[in-house]
Structures are given as structure tokens and as C-alpha cells.
Amino acid sequence: MKTRLSEIADAQRADPPYDVPEYRSSSLRAPKRPLLLIPETLSETTGPVFGDDAVTELDGDLTRQHDGEPLGERIVVSGRVVGTDGRPLRRTLIEIWQANAAGRYVHESDRHPAPLDPNFTGAGRVLTDDDGRYRFTTIKPGAYPWRNHPNAWRPAHIHLSLFGRAFTERLVTQMYFPGDPLFGADPIFQSIRDPKARELLVSSFDWETTRPEWALGYRFDVVLGLTPEDPD
């Protein structure tokens, strides 16, 4: 039986290298010298504390943040956040951001000639409940070109940011959708060399959260290597 430390080590070995030649911009920001471990101070090991009043109901429903209905396919994204010991991580802040149904971000740097949606900003956040569960209602994002190589397209995905006990305990990852034909040509997805580890980034279709005549459901569970202490 694997110990918790061996499971974490396995996960770390599955992480992609900092510098992936096929992913061109990674070479520009990859460290060129060995990393230095800096001792943590009290401000880094305590907090953040996110109260229930810091996140509203509309933060988790990206389809209701504006006056009109956004364009595209409505989806429900949900799952659990747990530690490597299987314990739920309660009141963990999850933030998401994504492109709209046409594959366009609401960002000044996005020059993709696809339409913006005035009723969709593409950002939301929720807190996990006592069982580590979370839920978003949003629009399924579209694929988009990104000029990394000739005819380069990113598979449809949603970015996630999760905080643990402190701001220094943060995971930023991406959630993909099953059966995307662009997986094999995407150097970011393929930078994770282990095929089994890559599959952990792909959500699964979920009948349980699919709402009749309204939205399809997708499940995406997250395991964090560090388990926050239980709040009082």
C-alpha cells in the first residue's frame, strides 16, 4: 500500500517540466537556475480566511451575472476538493476563468477575431462546503487559436485556482472536456508525459448534475497535496 508521501511523490513526478520546447512561451519563463526554498513567515502560513459573505450566489453562476442570457451551451461543473488522505477541504476558495462560447476572453490582449458576449464575463468563484463540494453554472467554452505553432488551437478548457491554508498554498490548473479532438495536438496538455496523469485533467460527463432541458453536468474532482487544518 502506498503511503501519503509516496502518493505526493508520484504526483510530483507527473508534473510537466518547467521548460517544454513544444510550448514555446514556457522557455521564456522557465527558471534557469536551481530553485531556492525561502523560509515561510507567519503571514504566509496563516490565512487566507474567506467568510461566506465574501462570495455571493451570483459568483458561482456565470450565466446570471448580467442583464441578459449569455450565448452558448449551459453546463454545470461540480466536484469535490480533498487532500491526499481523502479528507474534504472545507471552505476552500475556488476561482475560475474561461473563454466564452466563441473562444474569446474578455481581456485586452485577446485579439482572436471572435465575438465578445456582453452577457458573459467568464469569471466566477465559490467556497467548498463541509464535504469539500463545489458547483458552478457556466457556458461551455469554445476552442481558440493561439499561434504557438502553425494552425495551433487550444482545446476547450476552464482555468481553476484553489487556495489551501495560505496564499502560498495555491494550485492553478485547467479542466478539459471528454473526447476533445485537439488533445493530441496541444503541447500544454501533452506536456504531462504520463497518459494516466493527463486524464486527471479531463472532466467526466455527469448525469447526476445534468438538469433536464437546461444544462449538461460535468464532474471534476481535485486532490490537493497539502491538507488544510480543519477550521474551528
Say which of 91, 104, 125, 154 is annotated catalytic. Answer: 154
- Contact between 202 and 155 (Cβ < 8 Å): no
User: In this structure, what C-alpha cell is assigned to residue 89?
Assistant: 477541504
CA angle 23, 93, 61 (to 5 degrees): 90
Q: Is-catalytic flag, 159? A: yes
Q: Give backbone dihedrals phi and psi of 88, rounded to 5 degrees, phi first.
A: -65, 145
Q: Is-catalytic flag, 176? A: no
The rounded distance, in Å, linking the Cα atoms of 19 and 13 is 15
Say which of 74, 90, 112, 159 is annotated catalytic. Answer: 159
Q: Residue 55: left (phi > 0), alpha (psi -120 to 50), or beta? A: beta
Say which of 104, 125, 157, 165 is annotated catalytic. Answer: 157
Q: Residue written as cell 500544454?
A: 188
Q: Going by DSSP bridges, is the β-strand pair 222-224/170-176 parallel, antiparallel, or unpaired? A: unpaired
Closest to 96 in 3D by CA, of 158, 178, 175: 158
Q: Is-catalytic flag, 18? A: no
The rounded distance, in Å, linking the Cα atoms of 206 and 25 is 35
- Contact between 146 and 76 (Cβ < 8 Å): no
State the chain's maximal CA–CA distance in angstroms. 54
Say which of 23, 134, 144, 218 is annotated catalytic. Answer: 144
* Total residues found in the chain within this entry: 232
The rounded distance, in Å, linking the Cα atoms of 85 and 55 is 27
Query: Active-site residues: which are they?
Result: 105, 144, 154, 157, 159
